[in-house]
Copies of this chain bind each other. A is one copy, B any other.
């Protein structure tokens, strides 16, 4: 149960800043995800919180105490490393026992806890194996188990599920979330998987190039992205040209090929401005075209397991991407009608 607060945290490698003056406050027991493209500084941030990278500038506080000079082992953290960092000379069991030994957990209790966690990560029977005798995914699970078994105050997870299949991943998520809630561990979770970040986190931090682009709840991030980059990063997005007709109190009325809408606006617009309407592909529903509705032509359709992807062409030439369940299938060249509720649109500034 520790509150973590970060202030203007910066890490430079030579002239380049891997992490650039980021600030955030993570509440006790909160589950926060770091989301961002490869190389944006997620691992670096995590390592600074853990105490493995020197802080170039800024402060890190646990419960108000500056910990920049506290050695890693005194911070009571559990960490899953992106490259696992399993101890090659210890068996799976010894790897898990290590943290417990440091905490002087009595032997019988230790054995019990290890057995429980191993069971959860589905590696029962692998106790005596050395890391190099395990598959990639198995190693990753050992790394996860090793960090979880100590039930630390702060949990730092660096893409801990990247090498697992969907089923296992799902089960691991539940397991992590359960433990985290039960013990009340403040958790920072690094993932490249938007869906994972969305389903697991209390809040999501989106980073780009060492800076924080947005912090907010998953719904915030997904449905009210503060800028186009965030919107694009956390999901696919369609941009449709629109024209501002009139401006009201924090809202604007726009006309577009998809219809006319009154939308809240955070950017300053004037009547007559050309803007972009943003819309997620899965917000679009398709049906056979009937007259009087916004319509489009199917350019291409892809099947991807659970979903159908359509590339559509509006009559004004703009292209759209729609994603639906493969209940009704449309073929290339079909005319389809588009439906999308007004609240799924948002304005993203002047279209170039």
Binding site for B on A (CB under 8 A): 13, 35-39, 42-44, 82-83, 133-138, 140-141, 158-159, 162-169, 192-195, 198-199, 218-219, 222, 232-235, 280, 282-283, 285, 302-307, 323-327, 341
Least distance between A349 CB and chain B CB atoms (Å): 20
Contacting residue for A164 out of B38, B199, B341, CB 8 A: B38
For A234, what are the chain B residues with a Cβ–Cβ distance below 8 Å? 305
A304 touches B198 (CB 8 A): yes
For A282, what are the chain B residues with a Cβ–Cβ distance below 8 Å? 306-307, 325-326
Given contacts A38-B135, A38-B141, A39-B135, contact A195 B162 (CB under 8 A): no
B280 touches A163 (CB 8 A): no
A37 touches B233 (CB 8 A): no
Given contacts A302-B199, A304-B198, A304-B199, contact A163 B192 (CB under 8 A): yes
For A192, what are the chain B residues with a Cβ–Cβ distance below 8 Å? 137, 163-166, 169
For A306, what are the chain B residues with a Cβ–Cβ distance below 8 Å? 195, 222, 235, 280, 282, 323
For A307, what are the chain B residues with a Cβ–Cβ distance below 8 Å? 282
Copies of this chain, complex-wide, total: 2
Contacting residue for A136 out of B82, B167, B198, CB 8 A: B82
B13 touches A167 (CB 8 A): no
Q: How far is the CA of A285 from the CA of B137 in the complex (A)?
A: 35
A138 touches B327 (CB 8 A): no
Least distance between A209 CB and chain B CB atoms (Å): 12
Least distance between A42 CB and chain B CB atoms (Å): 8
Q: How far is the CA of A327 from the CA of B168 in the complex (A)?
A: 29
Least distance between A38 CB and chain B CB atoms (Å): 3
Task: Beyond the given A137-B192, A169-B192, A306-B323, please list 4 additional residue pairs across the A-B interface where CB-CB is below 8 A.
Answer: A38-B137, A38-B164, A166-B193, A167-B233
Contacting residue for A37 out of B38, B165, B305, B324, CB 8 A: B165
Least distance between A56 CB and chain B CB atoms (Å): 16
Residue of B with least CB distance to A141: B38
For A138, what are the chain B residues with a Cβ–Cβ distance below 8 Å? 38-39
Given contacts A43-B135, A138-B38, A306-B323, contact A163 B159 (CB under 8 A): yes
Nearest 7 interchain pairs by C-beta: A38-B137, A165-B192, A198-B305, A82-B136, A39-B135, A282-B306, A162-B162
For A159, what are the chain B residues with a Cβ–Cβ distance below 8 Å? 136, 163
For A42, what are the chain B residues with a Cβ–Cβ distance below 8 Å? 135
Least distance between A338 CB and chain B CB atoms (Å): 12
B194 touches A303 (CB 8 A): no
